[in-house]
Amino acid sequence: MTDNTIASLEKEATSVENQFQSNVANITANPTPKSVDELRIAYLGRKGKVSALMEGMRHLAKEDRPAAGKAVNNLRQKVESAIEDLIIKANEWQLQQKLNQSPLDVTLPVKTQTNTGSLHPVTLMRRTLLREFRRLGFTVVDGPEVDLDFYNFSALNFKDDHPARDMQDTFFIDGRDKTVLRTHTSNIQIHAMLENSPPLRVVAPGRTYRCDSDLTHTPMFHQIEGFIVDERITMGDMKGVIDKFLKAIYGEDLSTRVRPSYFPFVEPGGEFDLQCVKCRGKGCRICSKTGWLEIGGMGMIHPNVFEAVSYDSEKYTGFAFGFGIDRLAMLKYGVTDLRLMFEGNKQFLSQFPIHS
Ligand SMILES: [Zn+2]
């Protein structure tokens, strides 16, 4: 500024505004983020032209300052607003540049992910079973894999000399006879009955353990236990439930049947069979030409079991059933060697779906 009067400051402000308008006119057709930023610094930066005007106000006479401040602020607002518009334009320009440079072809084939995981057949079968049993009104519960003899044997009416307690079958913990790796999921029956009052409708899947290892047995295997306790529960209810869930998994056209058998914790007890899933009852290698497959055990809950959990066996009746999840999965997916189920072979496992 040549002198410190308001007239010269106003003249200077007009000159700055004219320069600014001319600069804007130069880039407004094609503003880039860089050119807009340079313009912003040139006018609004700490050493910019608008800032210099603000600085010049300090040398004015006191009474001139309000009028000068108004004029300079007015200019600053004009500059700020013009630059904001330019920034928007510049961003649009930049986006357009990107779109022009790398056109996106949505029809290009994607690189398929080939290394995804899959669900283990036992997991698939467990989920299927739980879905069907929930549909039938059952609640799913869990129980301990290491348990006291009471829950695994005594309360389930296994007499002290029952062969299942023999060292050949049972893994004992710490060599003490009182704690075992559960040999079946039936221990959950006792836990669930002690923790709840009838009516009960429960299924419990889980790992079980026996000292047994050959072509058709592994020391660890999966079972699912189910039971109902209520008033007036009959064998008919039991056969209905078994029939319903097996048909839901393997097909409505297959028949089921029950044969008498013995388990300490049920009376009467039975085993249930499903028509062969492979030959549909005609007879083949899988069913040893019988047309039937053994699936699991079942029966009406023994009064001694109700006594162990202090249920009134005059008032309540119930049925229980249990079977191997591994075997059901093998039948469903056509797996013929049980060991494949636990070897963790990636090639074998990758054949199964990701979803249940
Ligand atoms: Zn068959």
Dist. CA 319 → ligand 1 center (Å):
29
Dist. CA 332 → ligand 1 center (Å):
13
Dist. CA 251 → ligand 1 center (Å):
15
* 68 vs 304: which has the higher pLDDT: 304
Dist. CA 118 → ligand 1 center (Å):
29
Three-state secondary structure call for residue 269: strand
Dist. CA 293 → ligand 1 center (Å):
8
Domain extent listing, the chain: 6-101, 121-349
pLDDT of residue 101: 82
pLDDT tens sequence across 171-197: 888 766 688 899 999 999 999 999 999
CA angle, residues 331, 334, 338, in degrees to nearest 5: 75
159/263 Cα distance (integer angstroms)? 12
pLDDT tens sequence across 240-276: 999 998 998 888 899 999 999 999 999 999 999 999 9
Dist. CA 136 → ligand 1 center (Å):
28
Ligand 1 is an ion; its neighbours by CB within 5 Å are 276, 278-279, 284, 286-287
The CATH superfamily assigned to 121-349 is: Bira Bifunctional Protein; Domain 2 (3.30.930.10)
Other CB atoms within a 10 A radius of the CB of residue 133 amount to: 22
Dist. CA 277 → ligand 1 center (Å):
7
Residue among 330, 266, 329, 256 nearest 294 (CA): 256
Assigned token pair, 331: 């039948």
Dist. CA 67 → ligand 1 center (Å):
103
Dist. CA 275 → ligand 1 center (Å):
8
Dist. CA 126 → ligand 1 center (Å):
23
CA angle, residues 173, 194, 191, in degrees to nearest 5: 35
